[in-house]
Structure 1
Amino acid sequence: MAGLVARLRLAERLAPGWLVVQVLGTLVLIATVGTAKPTPMWVWLLYVSSLACWLLWLVVDSWLPRTSLLLLVAASALPALAVGASTDSTALIMLCVVLGRLATLSTVSAAVIVAVTFLNAVVVVASSLAFGGSASLAFGSAVACVFVMLVGMHPRHYELQAVRSRELLEQTRLAQQEHARAAALDERARIARELHDVLAHSLGALGVQLEVAEVLLTDKGDVAGAVERVRRSRRLAAEGLAEARRAVAALRADVAPLAEAVAELAEQHRTNHAVDIDVITEGEPRFISSAATVALLGTVREALTNAAKHAPGASVTLALSYQVTGIRVDVRNAPPNRVVVAGDEVGGFGLTGMRERVALVGGTLATTPTDDGGWLVTVEVPE
């Protein structure tokens, strides 16, 4: 609240007509007091006191807000007391000048302005009637006070609207900055997941090929077979590097249809790991968003990589189902047909990355062992 009041005060002082209003108001008050007709001494004292309160308000307004408000209220109340005893319109003019300036202040609440105005109107009516003035003149003076207040509150309303608009613009700018920052963090996490999937897939296949080459050399003495596996490993390394570069460059690009991309992943897995893999598609293929497609493909790639690492040589069944409420993919691998060596147990962020990726598109991921000793990964994405 204090910050808002400070901004309102600054806005007032930056307004083009602020100094003009202050100077003109002061000149009108001084001229009115100086040209007033002879009146009782106590009325003159009220005039001078009101003018003194106005001048003090000009001095302390910028650094004593509460005191300045009290001074302005006093500057309006003093001439209101003298309206009935005044021999001319000096008191009413001074009252209208002070009330008009009070009504334009955006740092004062509307309730305070209305309360001060109506209090002064009541004092004007009481003072006029007490000194023998006519009722019509008394109530006419009160109406003049209310009219001046309404006129003064009109520019105040626009000034408040301008300040609120600037605040809203600033809040919007900050919100846009936070949104951009969140988007950058999200994009960074997405790139990290994509690179992890690509590298894990490529390096997993590379590790299997090198392991087979080692077995061929040490156990069977098959140099030709081992050389072929090494050459395949070299191709896998080159392909993995190229795929990593493509993943970074194509994060925002359109992806292939889901069924086609899944079949391509299955063929790559069959070639790289020399295992049987069946692809089953159920339901009518349809267009789905790029975000959902990328999430599903990343999950399938990671599941195939895990199957190659933890169940080497095992057959894989990949089922893609287009359902009414979304897309479901099951990746099921049979039990491994050979013992998993220690090097196959590699820690990482595979499952975590899979869950994060699927969660970003509102999907769910489940991983469960099967009855025959294999493993099942199920991902469902609403679409």
Structure 2
Amino acid sequence: MHLMLWVVMVLTVASVLQSRPHPGVTGERLVISLALAGCVLSLTFAALARDTGKSEAATAALPLVLGVSGNVLAFLQPASMSVVSVSTAVAMLFARLRPRLAAVLAAPLTVAIAAITVYVSPSSNAFQVAVACVLLCVVLGAVYVFARQARLRHDHTELLLAELEDSREAEARAAAVAERTRIARELHDILAQSLSALSVQLEGARKLAERDQVDPSLHQLIVRSGELTREGLADARRAVAALRGDDVPMVDQLTTLVGRCRRDLALPITLSVIGQPRTLAPDANLAFYRGAQEALTNAARYAAGSPTAVVLRYTPQATVLTISDQGRAAGADDDGAGTNVPVTPVEAWTGGGNGLRGMRERMERVGGVTHAGPIGQGWTVEMEIPA
């Protein structure tokens, strides 16, 4: 439509300038000049307009000005191609308005151009020319009615496709939630209950050991096994909560984890929280927790006794968790213990067990990234999830 309007404007100007009487500033010529200006301005504004949110009155104004100006030119310049302007006005009405309203507005323009053609045409076939003008207007109007209906059907089809896509995504999300709930239920019924039973058995073994006054080291091993079982049970429940979508604050989880590391792995750890804490998705919480668990286990294994810093930083762009140590303590032997560093059973501690690769994969699944590498004599792991 917009390209056609520019073509019609060029044809209209060329036809009016070549026909007689020519445009001027007095009398009949002034009227021709004003009618030509009406055609040019209405065609220009219509060709440049891209706003489809205008009212029907504003939308109909330009075609009506174009049609009236074209009829005036047809009356004053019988030799000009004014019927092109009138038929274009009819096409614009049907392209931009409701068919019934467009027909009401286009009918007077079409009847006027036919009557003017019959009146001013000197030839004997004036009636045939008028019929041709009417047919041109009718055909263009019908073409744009069908084009408008096709465009509306296309828009409706795109809307239905978008709704179908949304419905499929919602169905996929519902299926994922149902599957996660099933897995969480299975974990709870199998792993959590098994660990609970094991904890009860270990508690019974501890009481028997106290009654029979067994070796203190064996008694301590039984006590620690019970503690590890309870902590494993807590981790299993945390995983189940993440699968079910329950929210557990990240700061609370890290505080508990750091306390366990200080006690079990003999790591001098500091925990810092920078920024305003925000609520994270359960999957993101679990990814951060498992990553921190793995990084702290590695620090205890490869840099026993080294001061370790855990920093949780909230920024407007992301949530960043950094675990860094200062390297193996001076004088440490191959087992990770020195003269001033107690030997700790790292292998028995419930670490993440994923390694750096598993840590990266877990973070990538929640849209995050992991950076790990040496800094100075130590090692730093940084996990980041966009806000």
Normalising by structure 1, we get a TM-score of: 0.44
